[in-house]
Structure 1
Amino acid sequence: MAALAEHMAGAGARGLTVLGVFGEAARLSWDDRRLVLHTVLDATELPLVVGCTSLGTAPVIDEARMATELAGDRLAGVMVQANSPDRATLQAHLSTVHEATGAPVVVQDYPVASGVSVPTAVLGEVATLPFIAAVKAESPPTPVAVAEVTSRCDAPVFGGLGGLNLLDELACGAAGAMTGFSYPEALVACVEAWSPSDPSKSRAALLDYLPLITFEQQAGIALAIRKECLRRRGLISESAVRPPARTLPESLMPLLARHLDAIK
């Protein structure tokens, strides 16, 4: 974990998300979560967004309090799942978390993980709350979501999904990328090169990596693929996934090797 955080800092990341969905946070014990957060805090000076995995307000407050306690001034925000399509319910949830902890909130709309689909109009409305630090829009089609939410609020809006639609998200007003990919330096280069008047440089920075991004984002096994990519890069020592996540099928190993060889 320390090596991975150090690599991302060296790659030019402006901040890190810790205990997110792909960090398997929902499958970690409370002590393990604390250990992960301590490890990342010791490994890098970057600001952190710390994920909260629960949908209920009370357990999210517990998670957010741990983040504020450990991260202190390094905390850029706690990432809270949008837990209701109803504006009043969602607003009350986010407001209560903030009032109980004082933490800025990053709203994450990721129905694959939460099981909740939130209209972009509702997401844009709650994003106008003064304590909202950012919005992470991961409900496909993400470029449409980014465009609609940015038109309704001033908070920065980020895409996700491994960078699969990053170029189009940037064109629709995204502030950058807040997502995992086994080559984070490619995401950094793409975002730093972005210019609405000349998107060709940003496209060129990402183009060679797009086949691997697509390969990594296969439904059901994306986590297993990414962890194996990171292991082969020497950034983590083990690529096992925690149950009930699916393991990487042996039949895909040769394809994975080809994708990685193409980048080297």
Structure 2
Amino acid sequence: MPKTHTGFHGVYPMIYAYFDAEGGLIEAPVKASVEAMIRHGVHGLAVLGLASEVNKLSRASRLQLLDWVSEANDGRVPLSVTVAENNVAGQVEFARLAKERGANWLVLQPPPVSPIDESELLAFFSAVIDKVDLPVGIQNAPQYLGIGLSNAGLRELARRHANFRLAKTEGSAVAIARLVEETEGMFDVFNGRGGFELPDILRAGAAGVIPGGESFDVFVKVYDAMRAGQAEEAERLYREVLPLIVFLEESIDHLVTYGKQVAALRLNADAGKPALPSTVCTPFGMAAIRRFADTLGKL
């Protein structure tokens, strides 16, 4: 596996947000998640991405969730924070606040403007990165966000900014291999997709994975086995969690709604209530989730 440019690598599970009946955040399962993740050897933590339901959080709630994660982490592992403000000034300000709260690197989401010329998107990201003094990546997931950069666009942004050497993608292993090839390995690539194809995305040149917060203990074992050259063991471990990955991968909202239930069952924590609007868990779906959680065991 290749050496990273930034030093960041491995499994960075995205912290789920848990809600009460009024839509407010619940602290206990968030901090329980952080403790379990660190206990099981994650290489870092991630928060405020799509799996944190950032689109359902006010600015105050985003900062509250970030504060809880940072307090529980207490600097023990690196922290990646997604910045989802819709304009340059907002992203620059939130980046500053994230750094003050312990962020070690940032993932910038594109603004919700589609279609948009790539030159405009490059100008947007460049204006933000110019004013940020942390390592920066972007969330390049047009299939979920409706907007993204080409591999050539990523190269151009990296040419402009020395601190832009990370990419958060949601692609297949084949797409990641193409990204690595066409950018000549300029980026530490972290893929999402709930950990889908984990052994193969690492073979393709990814530095790590940012999955949901329900199967991170298995992903850590898979990643560590791959780094140790134990590919057969990594594949065996991956097969144990693959049925759950496939079940969750229907959509982002499906992943969040059901993945959060798995996490809560494994943590013996309160899953809270779904934030409106959300996928409604069916009795059949919950029965499947309980089987998956029982198979994986307690955290």
TM-score above 0.5, yes or no: yes
The C-alpha deviation readout for 1:80-137, integer Å capped at 9, x for no partner, is 1245875433332222212223232111112244221433332344345311141111
Question: CA 1:192–1:208 in structure 2 vs 1: closer, same or farther (change >3 Å)?
Answer: same
Q: Structure 2: which 5+ runs fail to align?
A: 1-29
**Residue 200, structure 1, aligned to residue 232, structure 2:** yes
Q: Which residue is equivalent to 2:34?
A: 5
- TM-aligned CA deviation for residue 217 of structure 1: 1.8
Match of 1:21 among 32, 37, 50: 50
Q: Structure 1: which 5+ runs fail to align?
A: none
Q: Which residue is equivalent to 2:128?
A: 97
Question: CA 1:101–1:263 in structure 2 vs 1: closer, same or farther (change >3 Å)?
Answer: closer
Question: CA 1:119–1:144 in structure 2 vs 1: closer, same or farther (change >3 Å)?
Answer: farther
Query: Is 1:162–1:217's contact at 8 Å kept on the other side of the alignment?
Result: yes
Match of 2:198 among 166, 191, 214: 166
The size of the alignment, in residue pairs, is: 259
Question: CA 1:213–1:239 in structure 2 vs 1: closer, same or farther (change >3 Å)?
Answer: farther
The C-alpha deviation readout for 1:36-76, integer Å capped at 9, x for no partner, is 111111111222111112343232223212212322xxx22
Task: Work out the percentage of aligned pairs sharing the same amino acid.
Answer: 27
C-alpha separation in 1, matches of 2:42 and 2:81: 15
Q: Which residue is equivalent to 2:164?
A: 132
TM superposition score normalised by structure 1: 0.88
Query: Is 1:228–1:239's contact at 8 Å kept on the other side of the alignment?
Result: no
Q: Choose between structure 1 and 2 for higher RCO, CA contacts under 8 A separated by at least 6 residues.
A: 2
C-alpha separation in 1, matches of 2:213 and 2:108: 21
- TM-aligned CA deviation for residue 172 of structure 1: 0.6
Match of 2:270 among 237, 245, 251: 237
Superposed CA RMSD in Å reads 2.3
The worse-fitting range, judged by mean Cα deviation, of 2-11 and 99-108 is 99-108
Matched to 1:38, the amino acid is D
The worse-fitting range, judged by mean Cα deviation, of 158-167 and 81-90 is 81-90
Pairs within 5 Å for 1:75-154: 75-82=103-110, 86-128=117-159, 129-138=161-170, 140=171, 142-151=172-181, 152=183, 153-154=185-186
- TM-aligned CA deviation for residue 196 of structure 1: 9.2
TM superposition score normalised by structure 2: 0.78
C-alpha separation in 2, matches of 1:2 and 1:260: 20
